[in-house]
Structures are given as structure tokens and as C-alpha cells.
Amino acid sequence: MTVLLARLEGVLHEYAWGSRRFLAELEGRASPSPSPEAERWFGAHPTAPATLHLADGTARPLDAAVASDPVGLLGDDVVTRFGARLPFLLKVLAAAEPLSLQTHPTAARAQAGFADEEARGIPLDAPHRRYRDAWPKPELLRALTPFTALCGFRDPDRTLELFATLAVDELTWLVDALQRHGEAGIAPVVRRLLMVPEVACGPLVTAVAARAAGLVEDAHWGAEARMVRGLSDRYPDDPGVVVALLMEVLHLVPGEALYLPAGNLHAYVEGAGIEVMATSDNVLRGGLTAKHVDVDELLQVLDDRPGAVPRVDPVPGVPGERVLPAPTPFFRLSELTPRSGAAVELDRRGPQVLLCTAGRAVVTADGTSLELARGQAALVAAAARDVEVTAVDDPGEDALVFRATVGDA
């Protein structure tokens, strides 16, 4: 029997960079939490599938439920396009400390890299494994709190102004490279920085941080200087600290969003948000981490073109919905603002994950209803009809529900 509507319990990930407060407070648990809590996954990735809680009191992993009834849960169109797999993964992310510098592969690179490592017999959980599945990982983040990120490369002319102000003797070669080659010099500079001998990394980062200390109140470069000071305290021997100086510093306020396509070098620094991505765990790291960094593979997928930060402006969806458009078929993220007595009637777009982050809401599908409190989620199957979301009267907080579903073909 096809499941049409069920509560979805996400998987909690405790990483060192996570917050001890945000997820606990969102979900009504004791705060601070005993350990840093970084992400809550609401999806069917085989390494951490969410749990479906069914009306008969039983529960099962979402990936197993999809495998047993792919057409009912995903719909014919989604199965045709993506196979018997939920193509998107919804997360709540809460960063109290910076994540690693990273980028994600294109579909072609992911398929080739995964096949290569499978053929060579590298275990999926090996620390040096680069591709853990054959999917790309475009992603979109919508800020729930003030959010800071490093995202993409700054125009080389502006970067030259920054390094002229820093005046670090050990980096005159970097200035020369950007002066001679402009945009074409970015990837070679990144390579050289990431290949700095380990014995020289500490002194280089120390020299850069010392110069940055004098700029923390600078009108033009204060944000970059403060960023480098914070990163150098956490990663005193990591050349990624210097790579970060080539990148744009992005500040989002709650409600703002950014889209990260394949090849975009980025690092989330601090803040909480809703994140949606293709169902992949492929991460190519470039610094600010103790994990494996493969410089050659990183540069194979790196998009080194400077440009505007990829902010996302919302557009109207169905009445009561704001869509955060992204140029990918894997996912579509929107915000629902239901009101008591005025339902948001959802169009049919295949499988849907609905996550409540404020107030309380009721999801109804085919006459069956499920109430969601803050931090709770539901799965709506593709086979469900007459799906709507309404708010529960709460004088203290309006309801806010995020809707993740499949993108347009």
C-alpha cells in the first residue's frame, strides 16, 4: 500500500563545527546540547536515510520505502528522470565554526570519478576516497539566522588592492602572478598555495594573520581581515587561510539565499540555514580541514572565474508560496506562509518534504492530516492529491514551512 503522508524523522549529524544551541532550540530540546550538532538530514541518502513513521505505528528508513514503492512515492516522471531514488536532500545546517573550503563536481565528473574509484576497489569509507556516489551536488542555502560564507573568487584587481594593503613579503609571487595573468592566474595561484610545503605553512599563515591584525577596523578590508584572523586561530598551519583571501566574503540576513553550482569554491563560516541539494555526498576539499585534500582533483572541477555572488531572489509560486529558483533539475525549494483558516494549496510536483521552522502547521493530503511543530517534517508522496498546508493558531509566532521537491526538467 502506497504511503501518501507520513512524519519524517531526520538524521542528526554531530560534527565539530556544529552549534550546541540552534538545532536543540529549534526542536524544543535542552540547550546547550551535550555535543556540537551540525546538520539534520531529511532525505534518503543511503549513508543516513531519514525515518518514515507510519500511521500503523511502524517505522522504516526512507530509502527502503522508496525502493519498495518507487512509483507511488516518487511518481513515474521522477523515476524516469532519476531512477528509483529521491533526487534531493533537505537539511537544516547550523555552523558555529567554519566548514572546510570545498567544491562539488559536475555530473560527468562525478560519474567518471566514482566509476574510477570503484574499479580500483577503494572502500566507500576510505579517508582518501573522493567520490562516494555518482551524482553531482548543486546546492542552495536559505539563511535562518545571520549567515557568513566565503563564496567564489573576487575580481583579481580588487584582490591586488587587498594584497597591496596587506604587504606580505612572502606573497610577492602571488601579486606578480595576478598582475601578469589576471583571471587566468587564479587557478595557478590556488595550486601553488595548496602545495606550500607543510613546514612553511605555519610561518606563512602567521605572517598573513599578523598583517591582517592591523586592518580589522579598515573601512575597505575589515571584514576580510577579521575573517583571516578567525581562520588563522583555528587553522594556524593551513594554506586555505590564504586561499580565503582570494574569495568573496558574503553576509546573508535571514530570508536571503545563495545557489552554489558545480565548481564553486565556498566555505560556510557561521550561521544557520535551510539547505537543499542533489542527493550526493561528493565533496572535494581545498583547505581549512584536517581531512584529505586532493589538489589535482579539486582543480579539475574548480570554477575559477570571478563574478557576482550567486544570490537567489524569490519569485511567487502558488498563493502563499515564495520559490527560491535554482537552475537544476534535482530540487526546488520554496517557503510557505500559511495562515489559520486560509490553506496554501500545493500543486503536484512529485515527492515533497515539508519542514516547519516556525509556529505550527497542519499538512493534509487525500483527507489525512498531520500536524507539524517547529523542527518537524513530513513526506508527501507523489501519489497524494489535494495537498494543502494550514497554520495552527499561535499568537506568538506565524507559521513558516519549507517545501522541497523536484526541480523542473
Beta bridge partners of 142: 257, 274
Mapped onto helix, strand or coil, the DSSP state of residue 109 is helix
**Are 6 and 53 a contacting pair, CB within 8 Å?**
yes
Catalytic residue among 85, 142, 154, 285: 285
Cα separation of 225 and 236, whole Å? 15
Cα separation of 129 and 366, whole Å? 45
Cα separation of 206 and 219, whole Å? 23
Beta bridge partners of 368: 365
**Number of separate helices (H) and strands (E) present in the chain:** 12, 24
**Are 166 and 203 a contacting pair, CB within 8 Å?**
no
Is-catalytic flag, 60? no
28 phi and psi angles, rounded to 5 deg: 75, 30
Cα separation of 182 and 194, whole Å? 19
Cα separation of 327 and 261, whole Å? 9
Which residue spans within 26-180 are E strands per DSSP? 39-42, 51-53, 59-61, 88-95, 101-103, 139-143, 147-153
148 CB-near residues (< 8 Å, 6+ apart): 249, 250, 251, 252, 268, 269, 270, 271
**Are 5 and 368 a contacting pair, CB within 8 Å?**
yes
DSSP letters spanning 233-283: HH-TT-THHHHGGGEEEEEE-TT-EEEE-TT--EEEEEEEEEEEEES----
**Are 248 and 150 a contacting pair, CB within 8 Å?**
yes
Question: In whole angstroms, how large is the CA radius of gyration of the chain?
Answer: 22
**Are 138 and 328 a contacting pair, CB within 8 Å?**
yes
Which residues carry out catalysis?
285
